[in-house]
Amino acid sequence: MAEKTCHAPWLPLENPQEKTTWWVVSGMTGVTVWHFLHHRLTLTPFFSCMTVASDTFIYIILEYAGRNSLFDLLAHEQRNSGGPVDGFLAQRLFLHITEGLAYCHGRFVCHRDLKPENFIMETPKDHARYNPDRPWSSDSLKIADFGLAATLKAGQRLMAQCGSMPFAAPEVMAAKSYDGFKLDVWSIGVVLLELTCGVSKMERLMRWPMDGALFADEEKAREIFQRTSNEEKFRNDIVRDFRPDYMRKAGNESIKNLLNMLTRELLVFDEARRSSITQIEQSPWVVDARRRAKEWGR
pLDDT digits (tens, 9 = 90+) for 41-78: 554 544 444 433 445 566 666 677 777 899 999 999 99
Tell me how far apart the terminal alpha carbons of the chain are, to the nearest angstrom: 24
Q: pTM score, two decimals?
A: 0.81
CB count in 10 Å sphere of residue 135: 18
CB distance 248 to 91 below 8 Å: no
For 3-21, the pLDDT digits (tens) are: 455 544 434 434 444 333 3
How high is the mean pLDDT of the chain? 80
Position with higher pLDDT, 217 vs 1: 217
Going by DSSP bridges, is the β-strand pair 150-151/2-6 parallel, antiparallel, or unpaired?
Answer: unpaired
Q: At the top level of CATH, which class does the domain 68-296 belong to?
A: mainly alpha
The domains of the chain are located at 2-62, 68-296
Residue 237 is among the residues annotated as catalytic for this protein = no
Lowest mean pLDDT among 75-89, 179-193, 275-289: 75-89
Q: Are strands 57-62 and 45-51 parallel, antiparallel or unpaired?
A: antiparallel
With beta carbons less than 8 A apart as the criterion, state whether 188 and 182 touch. Answer: no
Give the tens place of pLDDT for each residue, 197-256: 999 999 888 877 766 565 557 788 888 888 888 999 999 999 999 999 999 999 999 999
Residue type at position 226: Q
Segment 109-150, tens digit of pLDDT? 999 999 999 998 887 665 555 555 665 556 788 888 888 888
Give the CA angle between residues 222, 284, 225 to the nearest 5°.
5
Return the pLDDT at 33: 62
Reference 190, options 157, 229, 145, 228; nearest CA is 228
Spot the catalytic one: 55, 72, 86, 113: 113
Rounded distance between C-alpha atoms, residue 242 and residue 222, angstroms:
26
Angle at 267 between CA 266 and CA 270, to 5 degrees: 100
> What count of other Cβ atoms lies within 10 Å of the Cβ of residue 126?
9
Least confident range of 47-56, 184-193, 279-288:
47-56
For residue 220, which amino acid is it?
Answer: K
Contact assessment for residue 41 and residue 141, using Cβ atoms and an 8 Å cutoff: yes
